[in-house]
Chain A
Amino acid sequence: WLLVCLLLKLFSAVEVQRPRGVPLSKRQFYEEGKPFTCLDGSRTIPFDRVNDDYCDCQDGSDEPGTAACPNGSFHCTNAGFRPTFIPSSRINDGICDCCDTTDEYNSGATCQNTCRELGRKERESLQKMAEIAKEGFLLKQQLIHEANRGLEDKKAKLGDVQGSKKDLEAKVEALRTVKEAAEQPEREAKERHLKAWEGKLSFKSISPSTVCNDVSVPELLSHSELDPDADGSFTEAEAQGLLGGVDKVDTAAFESIWSNVKEKYMSEVRHYTSFFFLINSKFHVKFILFNFGFGICFRNLEKEISFDFGPSSEFAYLYSQCYELTTSEYIYRLCPFNRVTQKPKFGGSETNLGSWGKWAGPEDSIYSVMKYEHGTGCWQGPSRSTTVKLTCGKETVVTSTSEPSRCEYLMEFTCPAICQEPPNLEISSHEHQEL
């Protein structure tokens, strides 16, 4: 008995005396032996009605330690871990909610005190996250630096392109004059003139390679008019086909590819009016696209510069990249700022799960969520869309995908660009000691 007494004394020395379920911050309202006033001030009751398993206060404040009030809350100290509040309805319901077991004092449930273990795990994971954040944040600085340099280049290049475009337009105009002139005379004269200006038309002089680097599958994919079978879905495989089976080619290679395939797109030239020349020869209308690659690159540059790559362009490096995740059934592919696709692992065609829409995070962290919209339509449903949640990580990688609702996909994506400057570790270790 003495031992029990001693233990009790010891216990009370550690625990600040207060009614069950009351947080330290509110203990002054619960003064032993004095009438208790409900925290909403609605009424005052004798102290022995605090925690007497009957709800007297409308705000539930008289029963912090029992389940009597429907709107009450119970404070678990959880020494060794994080203190928390749980709804009163979880007191003595036979389920262990507080890691210090204090919520199950009369239910017969056998709970283990897991606070220390949880605390340790939490600290470990916090530390790990802090490390990741730290490294990620460093990487992010690099990314920002690179992005800024890249942006300068691109702006300069765009200037060049715009210059070239002007030249080009002048040439177009000149050629049109020639053409119109060629249409006026007799047939023989027409042919003669035609030869003359065709000779002037030099692919080399205004080659795309002067303004642009590579032509890649994703770039092609943004030109649905190039779809070889015009079936309304321009797949990656089809785009690859156009490029001769590879993901990207340099412009020189593209030119040679282009001369093979351009005939297919004659009917689609209205999209490229300014880059096409109409040649009227022997009353056959013939279109020649002489600088398709130029057109793509020009517009892509413009588009790229207009993207919101984050406050410091830290997301710019994701542009024109793709990241894959293979699950048991599908290969998912995220091409940031472009689109998300899904392809069955064992054959079958690719499905568009959405094209770049917008940043869609909550107001305070808008860059934490990407939204891809208007993918392939679902029967009786919306068109497919994908929400990409970004978390801080050293690697840039898709970590999971799911389809919470039919045709609404969710993707978890880690990358350094979202990393925030880690909080001062010293402070958190200080907190740790206090615990």
Chain B
Amino acid sequence: TASKCDCTLKLMFLSFGTWAVDKGNFKTCEQSAFCKRQRALKPGESPYRALLETMELTNTRLTLQLINDNNKVRLLLELYRLQGNITRVKINELKPLKPRYEVPDVLIREPTTEPLSVLSQDENGVVLSLGVESQRVIISARPFRLDIMEGSDVLMSLNSRGLLAFEHLRMRKDTQADPEAEKKEEADPTTKEEEEKVEDGMWEETFKSHTDSKPNGPSAVSLDFSLPGVEHVYGIPEHADTLRLKTTDNGDPYRLYNLDVFQYELYNPMALYGSVPVMVAHSAQRTTGIFWLNAAETWVDISSNTGSSETPQTDVRWISESGIIDIFIMLGPTPKDVFSQYASLTGTQSFPPLASLGYHQCRWNYNDQEDVKSVDAGFDEHDIPYDFIWLDIEHTDGKRYFTWDPHKFATPKEMLQGLMDKKRKMVAIVDPHIKVDGNYKIHNEIRSRGFYVKNKDGGDYEGWCWPGSASYPDFTRADMRAWWASMFAYDQYEGTMENLYTWNDMNEPSVFNGPEVTMHKDATHGAWEHRDIHNLYGLYVQMATAEGLIQRSGGVERPFVLTRAFFAGSQRLGAVWTGDNAAEWGHLKISIPMCLSMGLVGISFCGADIGGFFKSPSTELLVRWYQAGAYQPFYRAHAHVDTPRREPWLFGPENTALIREAVRQRYTLLPYWYQLFYRAHVTGEPVMRPLWVEYPQDLATFALEDEYLIGRDLLVHPVVEEGARGVTAYLPGKDEVWFDVHTFQKHNGAQNLYIPVTMSSIPVFQRGGSIIPRKLRVRRSSTCMEHDPYTLYVALNLQRTADGELYIDDGHTFNYEKKEFIYRKLTFANKVLSSVNLAPDAKFTTDSWIERIIVLGASKPSKVTLKTADGQEKQLEFDFDASMSVLTVRKPGMNAGADWTMTFQ
């Protein structure tokens, strides 16, 4: 759904006809008091000193006090060695005036610690062993500084620039305070040292017409990190910016503050709908990561000495408005190590139902049941597969979620049954803003249970959103989430059936009349301010919703929930999309780095609105977007209510055919997508990944963002330029070969390959050395293809070997957790292709069989023999295309779950 447009915006658009975001609605660092304050600090003047005599070391934890020599406030530093080459550093006030917020529910469990030991110690510092290899932490006392070393190399330094800052909680002492007390303190010179300048914005801050009352005063935290040898840093989504993060010296820092940004602009560090405070640093030698676990408004400054003659180094600085410093330093050393380290902390991508990897047809709005029916029929008429049709806010009874419009959607079950009869599904939106209406059950229940977020005066917080006046459930409360989840039960959420899934929009939360279109920071969630939890709100909404979908099925079915707002850990809950983009080529292009950035920090199930949400795409743009989207994880077309219809068949038969072909390519590859999501679920590896993840030493790949890999084996370089006649794809790997998946033409790696393109071209290459399963019998939905046979695409490398996997389960339940799946390793070596069980203790049977094997880069055999598990052998027929060196084995026919070997003599 669109974000709002307020009246001033509307006027601006009318008068200037521009489409850009109104930047004036959102704060710059300069306009955000704590960011301004913190950024004003100069490096090299750290007032912090480690009090080594306070050090305590248990088997798993080191604690140490730090003192700020300017104000004598003491901090407590905790240092942990965590399993899997992770170091955790926590810094809090030793004795805060009241507790400071520590982010719950993001870590999947209390991380397992490993022993630490002191290697040496003197008055200047302490050297600790990190257990593995030659890794050490050096704690320097004056000023306080942490260096993580491996051998003689510094991997990362903390407070090396002296920008650690920790605004301690304090009593208010400005003009409003008791004048007597002030006098008293003036008279006492010993307390003078602790006096700090009261700056504007410490106790109150006004932005546009909104005043933030800040009852707790200043509470920001900040720390700098130096990354020697690093020139490339990535991550900290969500920003509409390049994959490789830019230095921020000459502008604003990257901002992490979940916001509903109306018509966002490309290539700038403004905050968007979601925040994952994780940065990945990469060099040819090593990959590391920093996870800054803080849910308050956060700014990240990046600077680099690139261009100078020194050893390259990137310096990073994190600034958050409240909470504590709690960081996880993931030491790699490989990209995949960093992924698994981060996954060990916050979990992996949820394993989506297979159908949700198919194509999704959405629009704000499909008007009524008749409309849904005719769009559904349109897909059949034009023979285009799809799995989900979506309903936006207009399906509800007056924007009251969990209800249906009594006229337009009078018989939702009938509609859902109609879709179910075609093995298709639906998603209906449920947003977290609840209409304030005494006749609305959901509102009355939440209010009477006291579940709403409170305003600073203790009443239920009210804001303006789609329904008009709305309140916001306090999703940070576990009891609220449990109640919310129970609302998805079939007997509560009337008119629903098992093929109805959910979409959480506006969960930043979006508050049309709030500061920066979101909630007031001084609103309260129990003991905490909204300021403390802001970036976590959206995650909690999705968490409660996903739990509802699980519960309604008695824990059997996997949920599917799409969210716009997200945080670290959101990967466990479902899919994310890049919000309200626009029908512009630039937005198509940026969908790649935006989703790659999310994948690097765990969120694999990412996609952008196909066609662009705002405005109306040209036919060429729409077709190109369908083609690009077919090779991105979450594949959904969506459109603003004010745009003309754009169902795939509305642009003439030629374009319908182009779109059909793109969608069909997606469906043939569903087995591959599905097993990659299984892998992502098990390992935390991204499904859609930058080339450098697989070619970490190849500098040419480090900044690539116009092409990427799906898994390890498919390289995609979509056409994202208007009027393109060709693209230049970089094919990595000096000893690799790549096969064009459409022509089977072989290309050498480590080259820039110019590929001429027409409107039907989607440049995709399969890596030599890989085996990819496909289902070529594309039907009207993924569910219809369940029992269909596989074709294995075996692409040989220069060593004439290849390997791959085949994962099969029921596609929609949690039974895979009970080992009900097939997981096989496919290997081609020494002219023998074989299928070996990777999970002998798992049980599942499938009707699917192997109908065809296509060997790319093959030589002609004299015979092909299949040997099945029962020892029987049979000769197989085959076709050999000498011009392309493609061998097609006809109908081997073995079951996809069986052991077999195939010999090419």
Contacts and interface: CB of A to CB of B under 8 A. Distances in A.
Interface of A: 52-54, 56, 67-68, 70, 87, 89-90, 93-95, 328, 378-382, 402-408
B780 A70 contact: no
Interface in B6-51: 10, 13-14
B778 interface: yes
Nearest to A402: B367
Contacts of B644: 382, 405, 408
A406 B14 CA distance: 18
Contacts of B643: 381, 405-406
A95 B777 contact: no
B904 to A, nearest CB: 19
B407 interface: yes
Contacts of A53: 851, 891
Contacts of A407: 642
B851 A95 contact: no
A408 B642 CA distance: 10
A67 B779 CA distance: 9
Nearest to A407: B642
A89 B777 contact: yes
A198 B777 CA distance: 89
A167 B780 CA distance: 73
A340 B50 CA distance: 79
Given A68-B851, A93-B784, A380-B13, A404 B642 contact: no
A67 B777 contact: yes
A93 B642 contact: no
B390 to A, nearest CB: 16
Interface of B: 10, 13-14, 367, 370-371, 383, 407, 421-423, 641-645, 664, 776-780, 784-785, 788, 851-852, 890-891
Nearest to B422: A95
A190 B409 CA distance: 75
A404 B788 CA distance: 36
A70 B785 CA distance: 12
Please list the 10 inter-chain residue pairs (A to B) with the smallest Cβ-Cβ separation, ordered nearest first: A93-B784, A54-B891, A89-B779, A381-B642, A405-B644, A405-B645, A406-B642, A328-B407, A93-B779, A406-B641
A381 B642 CA distance: 6
A90 B641 CA distance: 33
Given A89-B778, A405-B644, A406-B642, 14 more contacts: A52-B891, A54-B852, A54-B890, A56-B890, A67-B779, A68-B777, A70-B778, A90-B780, A94-B423, A378-B642, A382-B644, A404-B645, A405-B645, A408-B645
A54 B14 CA distance: 60
Nearest to B614: A380
Given A89-B778, A93-B780, A380 B642 contact: yes
Contacts of A89: 383, 777-780, 784
Contact of B367 (A94, A380, A403): A403
Contacts of A408: 644-645
Chain B binding surface, main DSSP class = loop
Nearest to B374: A404
A93 B424 CA distance: 12
Contacts of B371: 402, 404
Contacts of B780: 89-90, 93, 95
Contacts of B423: 93-95
Nearest to B405: A328
17 contacts: A52-B891, A53-B851, A53-B891, A67-B779, A67-B788, A68-B777, A68-B851, A70-B777, A70-B778, A87-B383, A89-B383, A93-B780, A94-B423, A95-B421, A95-B423, A404-B367, A406-B643
A117 to B, nearest CB: 17
Nearest to B879: A56
Nearest to B783: A94
Among B423, B778, B891, the one with the most A-chain Cβ atoms within 10 Å of its Cβ is: B891
B380 to A, nearest CB: 9
B642 A54 contact: no
A277 to B, nearest CB: 42
A382 B407 CA distance: 27
Contacts of A94: 423, 784
Contacts of B776: 70
A284 B851 CA distance: 97
Contacts of A93: 423, 779-780, 784-785
A407 B643 CA distance: 9
A403 B776 CA distance: 38
Given A68-B777, A328-B407, A54 B367 contact: no
A279 to B, nearest CB: 44
Nearest to A54: B891
A381 B5 CA distance: 14
Contacts of B779: 67, 89-90, 93
Contacts of B422: 95
Contacts of A379: 10, 14, 642
B864 to A, nearest CB: 15
Contacts of B891: 52-54
Given A54-B890, A90-B779, A405-B644, A95 B367 contact: no
Contacts of A382: 644
A250 B312 CA distance: 91
Contacts of A87: 383
Nearest to B851: A54
Contacts of B785: 93
Among A68, A87, A89, A94, the one with the most B-chain Cβ atoms within 10 Å of its Cβ is: A89
B807 to A, nearest CB: 22
A254 B882 CA distance: 90
Contacts of A380: 13, 642
Among A68, A93, A407, the one with the most B-chain Cβ atoms within 10 Å of its Cβ is: A93
A64 to B, nearest CB: 15
A351 B422 CA distance: 40
A403 B421 CA distance: 27
B670 to A, nearest CB: 14
Nearest to A382: B644
Contacts of B421: 95
Contacts of B890: 54, 56
Contacts of B851: 53-54, 68
Nearest to A89: B779
B895 to A, nearest CB: 14
A304 to B, nearest CB: 33
Contacts of B14: 379
A408 B643 CA distance: 10
Nearest to B779: A89
Contacts of A70: 664, 776-778
Among B383, B642, B776, the one with the most A-chain Cβ atoms within 10 Å of its Cβ is: B642
Contacts of B645: 404-405, 408
B668 to A, nearest CB: 9
A54 B423 CA distance: 25
A89 B890 CA distance: 20
B424 to A, nearest CB: 10
A404 B650 CA distance: 12
Nearest to A92: B787
A249 B785 CA distance: 68
A378 B13 CA distance: 13
A95 B890 CA distance: 28
A94 B424 CA distance: 12
A281 B53 CA distance: 108
A95 B367 CA distance: 26
A197 B249 CA distance: 86
A95 B385 CA distance: 14
A54 B876 CA distance: 13
Nearest to B364: A406
A379 B614 CA distance: 13
A56 B890 CA distance: 9
Contacts of A54: 851-852, 890-891
A328 B383 CA distance: 35
Nearest to B891: A54
A407 B423 CA distance: 33
B18 to A, nearest CB: 12
Contacts of B784: 89, 93-95
